[in-house]
């Protein structure tokens, strides 16, 4: 009789940060092994996936008519269920080094705070259809806080800010629970749109969102810098229809995203206002921890600290905080069970 070791039957458990912009995968006992843009290219004629991740992102805006380049998540939640499933299937398989095992992995996966039960179930179903034997759903700011080694289980208030591509999550956590939270769509994608709009109205020039993102990352700053940063961008002149080049500086980017930053600041104030006084004193003392790609915007911690009057620090390696925290849960789920989302506990779609 053939004998099987447990490892040949069971897949390794994994944690996935399924983000609007980037998806990262942590494999139990191994660490973060996969980081790919959340982009899939599909051949509309054959309905087949032709590229995933970086390869698909490189095809954005450059592919022939029958190749559709899709971002299956929008504003932090699944907008294209089938493609998300294909994407997850690919990732789960890759995480098992391409080998399929009898029992699929247990998958820990994050959702933005305040998702409806329909949205949360969609994530669970997508993971299960992609081969997971069990899906543990966790709020992303909680996972990020765990990844940043913050004391989420203790009787102290911890405030975090996760600025991603599609959503910004703000949460106050204490004693294994989320005490106050808010999710907003003022995040990286919106900043890119702000830059596209600014260049259109200021320079009568049309640029793409990819260019806008490159400029944001390259020279974007939310406070004045000691040395001006600048970059030239090419786009299409609205009057002539021909290509033209303009020079953008960090101060242009600042002006472009200032209104969005104000909205973000108001959202943080709202969360602070709904935080119980006892926890507020902890936050004043211990400050706010920021992660997600938006945390890398130059001057962001300084500006937030000034406006809110609390210390603000950026988590180490802010792009991986959420997946590393979900990874901690993968290694030993029991201590975090109070944080797991059960659709029955959520409100129905409003």
Contact positions vs Mg ion (CB under 5 A): 19, 164
Of residues 20 and 275, the one with the C-beta less far from ligand ATP: 20
What letter does residue 346 receive in the DSSP assignment?
A: S
Q: Which of Mg ion, ligand ATP, none has residue 37 at its interface (CB below 5 to 8 Å by kind)? A: none
What letter does residue 343 receive in the DSSP assignment?
A: G
Q: Which of ligand ATP, Mg ion, none has residue 296 at its interface (CB below 5 to 8 Å by kind)? A: ligand ATP
From the CB of 167, what's the least distance to ligand ATP, in Å? 4
Residue 317 to residues 314, 325, 350, Cα–Cα distance (Å):
8, 12, 36
From the CB of 145, what's the least distance to Mg ion, in Å? 13
Q: Of 198-217, which residues contact ligand ATP (CB under 6 A)?
A: 213, 216-217
What is the total residue count of the chain? 350
Q: Which stretch binds ligand ATP (CB under 6 A): 20-28, 91-99, 193-201, 309-317?
A: 20-28
Q: Of 315-344, which residues contact ligand ATP (CB under 6 A)?
A: 319
**CA–CA gap between residue 6 and residue 348 (Å, rounded):** 40
From the CB of 188, what's the least distance to ligand ATP, in Å? 2
Residue 341 to residues 124, 173, 177, 346, Cα–Cα distance (Å):
10, 15, 11, 8
Of residues 111 and 279, the one with the C-beta less far from ligand ATP: 111
Chosen residue from 13, 16, 21, 219 binding ligand ATP by CB under 6 A: 21
**106: which 2 tokens?**
């247990």
Q: Which of ligand ATP, Mg ion, none has residue 216 at its interface (CB below 5 to 8 Å by kind)? A: ligand ATP
From the CB of 240, what's the least distance to Mg ion, in Å? 40
Asked if residue 165 binds ligand ATP (CB under 6 A), the reply is yes
Kindly write out the interface string for residues 70-109 of this chain, putting x where it contacts ligand ATP by CB under 6 A and - elsewhere: ------x---------------------------------
Of residues 95 and 322, the one with the C-beta less far from ligand ATP: 322
From the CB of 148, what's the least distance to ligand ATP, in Å? 13
Residue 127 to residues 2, 194, 240, Cα–Cα distance (Å):
31, 33, 49
Q: Which stretch binds ligand ATP (CB under 6 A): 18-26, 257-265, 323-331, 333-341?
A: 18-26
Asked if residue 144 binds ligand ATP (CB under 6 A), the reply is no
**Residue 297 burial class via C-beta count within 10 angstroms: exposed 0-12, middle 13-18, buried 19 and up:** buried
Of residues 17 and 85, the one with the C-beta less far from Mg ion: 17
Of residues 164 and 287, the one with the C-beta less far from ligand ATP: 164
DSSP three-state, residue 31: strand
Asked if residue 294 binds ligand ATP (CB under 6 A), the reply is yes
Q: Which stretch binds ligand ATP (CB under 6 A): 8-16, 115-123, 184-192, 340-348?
A: 184-192
Q: Can you give 272-338 as a three-state secondary structure string?
A: HHCCCHHHHHHHHHHCEEEECHHHHCECHHHHHHHHHCCCEEECCCCCCHHHHHHHHHHHCCHHHHH
Residue 277 to residues 186, 269, 274, 280, Cα–Cα distance (Å):
27, 14, 9, 5
Sheet holding 48-52, edge to edge: 48-52, 40-43, 67-70
Of residues 72 and 294, the one with the C-beta less far from ligand ATP: 294
Residue 241 backbone class (left: φ over 0; alpha: ψ -120 to 50; beta: rest):
left
Residue 283 neighbours by CB distance under 10 Å = 21
Of residues 219 and 323, the one with the C-beta less far from Mg ion: 323
Helix axes 81-95, 117-129, angle to 10 degrees: 50
**Which spans of this chain sit near ligand ATP (rule: CB under 6 A)?**
19-22, 76, 164-167, 187-189, 213, 216-217, 220, 292-294, 296-297, 319
């Amino acid at each position: 009789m053939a004998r099987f070791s447990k490892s040949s039957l069971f897949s390794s458990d994994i944690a996935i940060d399924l983000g609007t912009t980037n998806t990262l995968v942590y494999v139990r006992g191994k660490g973060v092994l996969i980081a790919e843009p959340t982009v899939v290219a599909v051949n509309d004629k054959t309905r087949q996936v032709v590229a995933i991740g970086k390869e698909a992102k490189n095809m954005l805006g450059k592919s022939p008519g029958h190749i559709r380049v899709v971002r299956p998540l929008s504003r932090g939640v699944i907008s294209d269920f089938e493609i998300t499933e294909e994407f997850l299937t690919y990732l789960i398989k890759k995480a098992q080094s391409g080998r399929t095992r009898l029992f699929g992995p247990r998958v820990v996966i994050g959702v933005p705070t305040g998702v409806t039960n329909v949205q949360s179930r969609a994530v669970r179903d997508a993971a299960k259809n992609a081969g997971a034997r069990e899906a543990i759903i966790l709020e992303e700011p909680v996972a990020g806080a765990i990844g940043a080694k913050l004391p989420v289980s203790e009787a102290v208030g911890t405030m975090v800010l996760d600025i991603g591509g599609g959503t910004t999550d703000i949460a106050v956590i204490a004693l294994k629970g989320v005490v106050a939270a808010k999710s907003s769509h003022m995040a990286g994608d919106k900043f890119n749109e702000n830059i596209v709009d600014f260049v259109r109205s200021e320079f009568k020039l049309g640029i793409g969102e990819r260019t806008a993102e490159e400029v944001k990352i390259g020279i974007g700053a939310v406070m004045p810098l000691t040395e001006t940063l600048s970059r030239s961008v090419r786009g299409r002149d609205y009057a002539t229809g021909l290509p033209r080049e303009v020079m953008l500086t960090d101060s242009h980017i600042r002006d472009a995203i200032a209104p969005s930053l104000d909205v973000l600041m108001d959202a943080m104030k709202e969360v602070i206002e709904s935080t119980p006084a006892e926890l507020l004193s902890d936050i004043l003392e211990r400050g706010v921890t920021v992660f997600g790609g938006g945390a890398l915007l130059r001057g962001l911690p300084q500006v937030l600290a000034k406006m809110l009057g609390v210390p603000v620090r950026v988590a180490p390696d802010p792009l991986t905080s959420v997946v590393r925290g979900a990874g901690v849960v993968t290694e030993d789920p029991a201590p975090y069970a109070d944080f797991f989302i059960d659709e029955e506990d959520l409100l129905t779609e409003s």
